[in-house]
Structures are given as C-alpha cells and as structure tokens.
Structure 1
Amino acid sequence: MAHFHVIAGGRSKAYPNVRRIGVADVFSSLRQGLDDFWTKPSHYVFLCLIYPVAGVVLARWTSGANALPLLFPLMSGFALIGPFAALGLYEISRRRELGLDTSWQHALEVRHSPAVPAILAIGVMLAAIFILWLLVAQALYVSLFGPERPESLMVFVSEVFTTNRGWQLILYGNVVGFFFALVVLCTTVVAFPLLLDRDVGAATAVYTSMKVVAVNPLEIMLWGLIVAALLVVGFVMFFAGLAIVIPVLGHATWHLYRKVVEPEAVSEMGAGR
C-alpha cells in the first residue's frame, strides 16, 4: 500500500489540467523568479552557496585525481539534478504566494510534505539518470581517446580543442548530453512544484510534466534553453554565479508551474464534467 501511495498519491486521482501558455509567460515567470530572489536575497544566496562550493570542489577533485574527462559531465550534471535540488526554493515561492513567512529556514519545510515519498522517488530517478550520463560520457571519452588519462589540464584542453577526436568528443558529448537533459526536462519540468502543491503521486507528476511539454513544446524548449544558458553563465563566473542563477531559476520554475497547470479546484471541476 505504501508503494501505491508513492506512485499514485494520497489525494484526488484526477489528472491536473494543463494550460496553453505563450512565450511571454515564460519570460514573465523568469521575472517573477527574479523578484522572489530580490525580496530577501541574502537568505537565498546563503541557501545556494552549496552550489558554487560544490562546483569548485568538483573541479578540484577531477583535477587532483587526474579525472579531467569527467569535469564537464559533472558540471553539466547540475542541470540533471537541479529540479530536485531546488525543492527549498519552490517552497519559499509557494509561501510567498500564500502570504506566509519566507525566512530561509522555511525552505526545509518540504520535509513535512505528505508527498515526500513521491518526491524522493523522482529524486532517485534523477540520480540514476545523472549516474548513467557520467557512465556514457566516460565510455565516449574512452572510445575516442583510449583508457589513458590526460597528463595535465593544459594537455587535456589542447587535445580537446585542436584534434579531430577532440571535436568529435565535443559534438557527440553535446548531442548525448542534450538527450539526457531533454529527458529530465520532459519528465520533471513541473513535477516537483506539483508534488509540493498537491500529493498526486510520482506517476501523475511525471505524466503532467510530459503533458505540459506536449501542449507547450516551443515554450518549454525555450525554457530549457534559458535554463541551460543561465547555468553556463553561472559556471563561466567561476561557479559563483550559480549562487544567483540557481535560486532565480528555482523560483521561476514555481511561477511557470502556476501558469501552466490549473489550480486544484479548477482541475477537479474540469475532471467532473
């Protein structure tokens, strides 16, 4: 029975209704996310310092362990686990919307959500996708460069950008990475905000995310490009930019969810017709 609750949820069995949105709604969500961030930026930066710190640690670890080929896959993997990592930010935006206290400690209130089992289930799915991405990226590198590790960072960079096999690695790696990112986008674009808002179960949350993409393909692809571009900006700023980029995107995701998924009462009325 517990497993059934994780998959199906504990509340209404009706699927949420999905709205058709426009490009303006995507940028409006981003502006609202920025507004949420600037309301109490010190709290949010404090919450998200773990992201740039983790990035620097990853860069240092891969350099020191002579595992440089995994540096880019690890960095880009932020986009794969980001929807789960931003849970606290969704909660802050939800509380602000309701007029509740938005102090940073309330980001931890998600642990009291009845949907925690379903949230963890999708989180495990994202972790599995992240690990699979690392394995595929490693296999791709070995197929092109062999099992030998690069002698140094400079040698590795030179090999990647001045040789045919290096450009093949860039091309194939980005194609494969795009596929993984697309899978995550389609299955989780609104999954976690939906679960925080309603205990609908993991299956319904994933289904609703896929329906959102099907109904709004161009708008959601634009959203994915915005997310990718801002994450690149965060990385280019020596990871420190992630302390702003991550919370803004987290808050904006909540507002995108509100625009594209009808409120619970409206959804249930529609299902009852």
Structure 2
Amino acid sequence: MAQFHIVAGASETPAHPVIRKITPADLKDALSRGFDDFLAMPSHLVFLGLIYPIFGACLAALTFTSNALPLLYPLATGFALVGPFAGIGLYEISRRRELGLATSWRDAFAVLNSPAIPSIIGMGVILLVIFLVWLTSARMLYQSLFGYAAPTSYPDFIHQVLTTPEGMSLIVWGNLLGFVFAIVVLSISVISFPLLVDRDVGVAVAIYTSVKAVVENPLTMALWGLIIATALLVGSIPLFVGLAIVMPVLGHATWHLYRHVVEPLPAEKTYPADRAVLRSFDGT
C-alpha cells in the first residue's frame, strides 16, 4: 500500500489537475516573482543555492583527480537534469511566502514533513537514474570515438575535442544526445515537483500533469527550457559560483510557473489572506 501511495497519491480515485494555456508573458511574470522572492530572502537563498555550486565544484575536482575528464562536460550540463529535485526547498519557501507564513532558510526543510515526501523522493530517484544513464551514454559516446584510453591531461583533452574530426563529432552528437535527455526531464518534471510539494497526488499523476502541461503549451515550455539552459550555462561559467543566485531564482520562478499552469483548487481561489488557513507542513 505504501508503494501504491507513492505512485498514485493519497486518494483512491486521484483527480488530474486542470492545465491552463500559458504565454511568454506568464514566463516573464514567473521570473519576476521568482526574483522578488529572492530579493525578499537573499541570505537564506544564497545559503541554499551554494549547496548546488559546491556540489558541482566537488564533482569537477573528482573528475580531474580520477582522470575522468570526458565526464566533466556531461557532469556540468547534467545539473539541469537534477535541478528540479534540488529546488524542492525553494518551492516550499515560495509556497509559505505565498500563504503569508513565516519564512527562513530552515523552512525550506519543512517540505520533509509533507505527506507527499515519499512521492517527491520517488521522483528524485527517477531523475537520478536519468542522470546516471546520461553519464553512461556520454561515456560510451566518447569511447566509441576515441577508444578506451583516457586523455593524459586537460590540455590533451581540449586538443582532442576541439581540433580533431572525432572531437567535432563528439560535440555534435553529445549535444544532440543531451538535448533528448533535457526534453525528457523537462517534460516529466517541470510541473511535477511543485505539484507534489503542493498536493499529495502521487508520482503517476505528477508526471502525467507535467507532460500534459508541456503538450498543451509546447512553444512556451520550449522557451522555458531555453531560459533554464541559458541561465544555468551563465551561472556555471564562473566556476559554478553564479548558480548560487541562478538556482534560487529559477527555483522560485518554477513555483510561480506551476501556479500559472495548474488550475488552483477551489479552496485556493480566495487569495491571498484566506489562503493562510491552508495546510502548513510544520503546523504553523
């Protein structure tokens, strides 16, 4: 029964959320609200956001020390695949601020008390598996072009990639392969994690709702994916440090995008004061 709850949620007959049509103006509003959330609590969010670049720097260091240089780029770009799970604490802060509840960096961990936390973890495992498959695929692509011998140094690796026909093929096919993985992750997770933070609907409904949101808003969601990719790229350039700002802003913006895309429950349509009576995971 516990496994069924993770997949199908708390209700025996789960209702699928209603999806709205959105436009680029909604993306702009979501980003604006996300930045506003960041400005309201910058110290808390920089603290949370630093977890991401520190983790990235550690992975990069591990890549260098283990002479696994071909995985450096897949690791860096793979952040976009696990980013939706990394932002759950930020979704919770935005949710609390929306309800007029107290917010601090500690409140990001209130999501751990959510009845949907098993489903959230289940979604996280799915993204982790996709991330590992991406790394494995990238490694196999490199080996198919350059063989099993690892590059002897970082300059040697850069020379291989940028000055040889095999390197050009690696760039083209690697990015195409990464694009496919990015589409899959965007489709199943763009709405699913905020939805699970907000409602205990289960993994199946969360993924279905997210995919439906993408199918019904293909161009707008494609633009959203481009915004995420560009922001993560810019944030990653200065040794991942910029992600300490990019990640919190994107995390909050994702919550507000979810609010634009998914029709609220009837009890939520009285906004904002009356919604303060809605549930809070820590009982406040």
Q: CA deviation at 1:256?
A: 0.1
Q: In the TM superposition, what are the counterparts of 1:77-116 in structure 2 within 5 Å?
A: 77-116=78-117
Give the aligned partner of residue 56 of structure 1. 57
- 1:38-91 Cα shifts (integer Å, max 9, x gaps): 101011001121111112111211111110000011111110011001100000
Give the aligned partner of residue 40 of structure 2. 39
SS of the residue corresponding to residue 199 of structure 1 reads coil
SS of the residue corresponding to residue 77 of structure 1 reads helix
- Provide the TM-score with structure 1 as the length reference: 0.96
- 1:127-152 Cα shifts (integer Å, max 9, x gaps): 10000001000000000000001011
**2:218 is the alignment partner of 1:217:** yes
Structure 2 portions without partners, runs of 5+: 269-284
Matched letter for residue 5 of structure 1: H
Q: Distance in 2 between matches of 1:85 and 1:44?
A: 12
Give the aligned partner of residue 9 of structure 1. 9
**2:245 is the alignment partner of 1:247:** no
- Provide the TM-score with structure 2 as the length reference: 0.92
Q: Distance in 1 between matches of 2:266 and 2:3?
A: 26
Q: Distance in 1 between matches of 2:58 and 2:2?
A: 38
Q: CA deviation at 1:175?
A: 0.3
Q: CA deviation at 1:266?
A: 8.0
Q: Which runs of 4+ in 1 moved over 4 A?
A: none
Q: CA deviation at 1:265?
A: 2.0
Q: In the TM superposition, what are the counterparts of 1:1-273 in structure 2 within 5 Å?
A: 1-11=1-11, 13-265=14-266
Q: Distance in 2 between matches of 1:249 and 1:40?
A: 14
- 1:147-183 Cα shifts (integer Å, max 9, x gaps): 0010110110111011110010000000000100100
Matched letter for residue 37 of structure 1: F
SS of the residue corresponding to residue 142 of structure 1 reads helix
Matched letter for residue 3 of structure 1: Q
SS of the residue corresponding to residue 155 of structure 2 reads helix
Matched letter for residue 98 of structure 1: L
Give the aligned partner of residue 271 of structure 1. none
Q: Distance in 2 between matches of 1:21 and 1:43?
A: 30
Instruction: Call closer, same or farther: CA 1:266–1:110 in 2, change over 3 Å.
Output: closer
- 1:189-231 Cα shifts (integer Å, max 9, x gaps): 1101001111011100000000100110000000000000000
Instruction: Call closer, same or farther: CA 1:129–1:236 in 2, change over 3 Å.
Output: same
Q: CA deviation at 1:117?
A: 1.0
Q: Distance in 1 between matches of 2:267 and 2:91?
A: 21
Structure 1 portions without partners, runs of 5+: 268-273
Matched letter for residue 16 of structure 1: P
Q: Distance in 2 between matches of 1:157 and 1:27?
A: 38
